[in-house]
Structure 1
Amino acid sequence: MRRNEGTSVTEAVRTSAARRPGATANEFYDQLVAGLEAARAALPDDEATFFNRPMSDAELIEWLCFQAYYEKRAAEFIGRWLADTPEDDAFALLARQVRDEARHYQLLMRALDRRGVRSLDGWRPEPEWEEWIDHWYPSGADTLERVAAHNVTGEIGAAGAMVAVRPRLPADVAAAIDKILPDEQFHMRLGRTVLARYCVTDEARERVLYRAQRTFELEQAGRAAYNRRMARLGLTDLDAATPPLA
């Protein structure tokens, strides 16, 4: 059943902003995060629930491949941002994040290696993932737009997903996630820092809202594509009470 049908990130933020006109940059960030939480709460129950069972080996490998792909792409596109990041503070923070994302990729590939998967060469992402991760995340006119999409909207979603799925993971993969999650918290703090310092005009806030809303939409499309992929591979039933990824 859908709760608060039609709620969007932008609508939720504007509702919050109406209660606190003239918000500071930090307050705007809090409104944005609250808007994301409200939009997630408005998802259907089956889409708001992660895996409700231990993963099979085949399903786990698919999930690990997706996560490794996501982390590798993040290291690549954030690395490309650095040449076009004039803000010294953001440059230093993003440079650290590149290292983090590369380390996460290594941790996930080691988990795959223990399961006989040596590389992602034979694995192909879904078109929805390419639109979301390969094209949308790297885009953005400036540091503010890029960080609003990836570090604020994307990393909040990614960290929440990892926390939700962790109880269904085998011990070695859960241990890898435990090493990744503290870095995700740093990446989210990076997002807050950038918004607090540079999202100070109405025009900037409108751009951030657009980036957050579109990222949220692409994320949900990407998760739906994951569910369809699992069904196509015979690893889950889309008609089950709780699809595997939402």
Structure 2
Amino acid sequence: MNIIVTGASSGVGFEAVLELILSGKHKVIALSRSQDKLERLLEIAHGLNPDAEIYALAFDIVHDDYAGLVQFIGGNFDNRVDVLVNNAGALVNKPFVELLETDFVEMLQSNFIGHVRMVQAMLPVMPKGSHIVNIGSMGGYQGSIKFPGLSAYSASKAALHTLTECLAIELAERNITVNCLALGSAQTEMLEKAFPGYQSPVMAFEMGKYIADFAVTGHRFFNGKVLPVAVTTP
């Protein structure tokens, strides 16, 4: 499969890419804003699998021009994307009364609008049977326990969850499957920012493996689903 993973320079995205290249069955394009971290990813990936077909591109899903990304995909993927993992995102941790309108704008851009742009740009090269996986959060999952300071972040993730359900209906005739994994805690930099000092029982590499496995098999069992992936609260 030809697979794109955004937000691939750290955390669960980083680990998902490494899991995907281990089998040698997939070609992966890793996207992130950080060129230095992407180079580290490439180094580790080729250390694990010297024959890994992995390509990295520094790219901002919110602000960069997609024409260059489409050209990059055409040159490395022969204009075919089988799986898109929308993992990029950001987090603001502030009491509601201190939040500025710009904080909400930033969260919506990073956690929602950027993914909208990615999906719209990739659809022309996604064949029947493709799978779009949005990485959501238990913070935006209806009925889940909520935590102070994360209202802007959680609201943006809730928007992504609803988009998943809508896209599954709109893309059904094209036989493109869309699902969302609402992640609970995994030991990442973002978790530390959200819950300083908290230690998750789930390591980043464990969650990354789950995401990688779901990306290549989940479309056989689910469509239009927002699936909670959490063993603890947070």
TM over 0.5: no
* Structure ID, larger Rg: 1
Higher RCO (C-alpha 8 Å, min separation 6):
1
Q: Greater strand percent: which structure?
A: 2
Q: Greater helix percent: which structure?
A: 1
Q: Normalising by the residue count of structure 1, what TM-score does the alignment of the two structures yield? A: 0.29
Q: Normalising by the residue count of structure 2, what TM-score does the alignment of the two structures yield? A: 0.31
